[in-house]
Structure 1
Amino acid sequence: MERIAKAPKDCSVTELKTFEKLVSNGGEVSLTGLRQRIQRAEKLLFIHDSECVAVGAIKNPNAGYKAGVFEKSNAPEQSKYQYELGWLYVSSAARGKGYGRVLMEAIKESLAGKACFATTREDNAPMQHLFNQFGFSKSGRPYKSENGDYSLVLYVKP
């Protein structure tokens, strides 16, 4: 198994396409402008096990988006969180094999103690479990997603 973490500008075209495809397969992200948002990320993370089985990112969220997340969730102190953890996806064939944990370990190393926030579906118990295990805590209240008929929960890691 190989863990790769690098800035989008250092990724090959193939890596960027693989990343975008896996994020798209997750079905929870607006695809409008996704390629540009990927390019603005701080770091992209890939987990390979004969092929790419999981991806994630340390994102540089724009100020308006970040303000909206914290406002909708009624969570305090948005200015403490420079980065957003996002686009976490493990391919359906690779689930239940520990790749999510490996991905979170790679992200933790890449963050090196920097504060960040993340959102996940209110009904995504496995992701919430991982967030809790890696020092994230729930903040604010659930709020309705703009990308589907479900609610999101904000997690923060100081």
Structure 2
Amino acid sequence: MSIQQIIKTPEDCSESELEVFEKLIFEGCEVSTEGLKQRIYKAEKLIFIKDNNCVAVGALKNPNSSYKASVFGKSNALGQSLYKYELGWLYVTESARGKGYSNLLMKAILESLSESTCFATTREDNTPMHHLFRKFGFSRLGKAYKSTNGDYSLILYGKS
């Protein structure tokens, strides 16, 4: 089987695809699980990378205005109105890391963006993600800020 990129709206996903997406996000342990299923359904696009099984997921999310204001406020970044979507829930399964799937995932996400803009957050200590964002034209915005999900700081990136 060849590698597949699947880009769908949540409404176009089967129940089993949504379950796989949610399961992989849980594996990543990076997001609050409270209300996750509802947030997944509100996403603009869900992206799946399959190589026999699903090895990577990501999404273009439709952030609500209070969340976006909070992220930009905590980071002291300007221009929140410039960013339409949030790139999030990027996850590559542990057994699939180091094989280029994150690059395929980012390419699929950027194709989905078309001419739109997005922002994303990542842990301050996640050097591979910082590299990936810079490689695909994202710029760091503002300063690092404390996460509400754990004892670590986050960095905001934007792509316009």
For the criterion TM > 0.5, the same-fold answer is: yes
Local SS of the residue matching 1:86: strand
Which residue pairs with 1:145 in the alignment? 147
Cα distance, 1:128 vs structure 2: 0.7
Count of matched residue pairs = 158
In the other structure, the counterpart of 1:106 is: 108
Q: Quick one: distance in 2 between partners of 1:5 and 1:150?
A: 31
Q: Report deviation, 1:113.
A: 2.3
Corresponding residue number in structure 1 for 2:89: 87
Distance 1:139 1:77 in 2: 9
Identity fraction in percent = 65
Give the aligned residue type for 1:76.
L
Do residues 4 (structure 1) and 11 (structure 2) align?
no
Tell me the amino acid that sits aligned with residue 39 of structure 1: Y
Gaps of 5+ in 2: none
Q: Is 2:73 the partner of 1:71?
A: yes
User: Secondary structure, in 3 states, of the residue corresponding to 1:29?
Assistant: coil
Equivalent residue runs for 1:1-158 within 5 Å = 1-158=3-160
Query: Which runs of at least 4 in structure 1 moved beyond 2 Å after TM superposition?
Result: none
Distance in 2, matches of 1:80 and 1:139, equals 12
Q: What do the CA deviations read for 1:88-137 (whole angstroms, capped 9, x no partner)? A: 00000100110000000000100012111000000101111110011100
Gaps of 5+ in 1: none
Q: CA RMSD in A?
A: 0.4
3-state SS of 1:147 partner: coil
1:114 alignment partner, SS class: coil
The TM-score with structure 2 as length reference comes to 0.98
Shift of 1:26: 0.4
TM-score (norm 1): 0.99
Residue identity in the other structure for 1:99: Y
